[in-house]
Amino acid sequence: MTALSISAACLFDDAGRLLLVRKRNTLGFMLPGGKAEPGEDAITALIRELKEELNLSLPVQALQPLGQFRAAAANEPDTWIDASVFLARLPHPVSAAAELEELRWLAPGDAPPATLAPLLREHVLPLLWPAAH
């Protein structure tokens, strides 16, 4: 099994909804973010990925750590991810860029999509909204 280190963000709009993204040619909905480039720490990688994927520039102080999690990768067989997950409020609307094909919003009482990434299903959503799980 391969392990990838990634950074991801739980981004919330003013209504308290969580932003989910789906990459082109995949089925799984996941958190925005991605792999670090050589020499990048988790938060630097996340800031770069959010700029590339959503045209979103967030200052470091806007990102609050949620935790470190290990889960099966959503789109890569025989691969685990070690994820550094952060929380932030969206300062403005965003749209899909780079490899993202679709954005979807998930409210606390909504049923999550069947194609939810393992990281979200197993770790993040139970922490964010324990009453719903």
State the pLDDT at residue 88.
98
* Mode of pairing for the β-strands spanning 18-23 and 29-30: antiparallel
State the pLDDT at residue 91.
93
State the pLDDT at residue 132.
61
State the pLDDT at residue 131.
75
Q: What is the DSSP letter of 116?
A: B
Q: For the chain, what is the mean pLDDT?
A: 93
pLDDT tens profile 61-77: 999 999 999 999 998 88
Domain 2-132: CATH architecture, name and number where available: Alpha-Beta Complex (3.90)
Q: Which sign does the torsion angle of CA 4, 21, 127, 92 carry?
A: positive
State the pLDDT at residue 77.
86
State the pLDDT at residue 1.
77
Residue ranges in the chain whose pLDDT is less than 50: none
Question: Where do the domains of the chain lie?
Answer: 2-132
In sequence order, the β-bridge partners of residue 65 are: 86
Six-digit token pair at 89? 């409020």
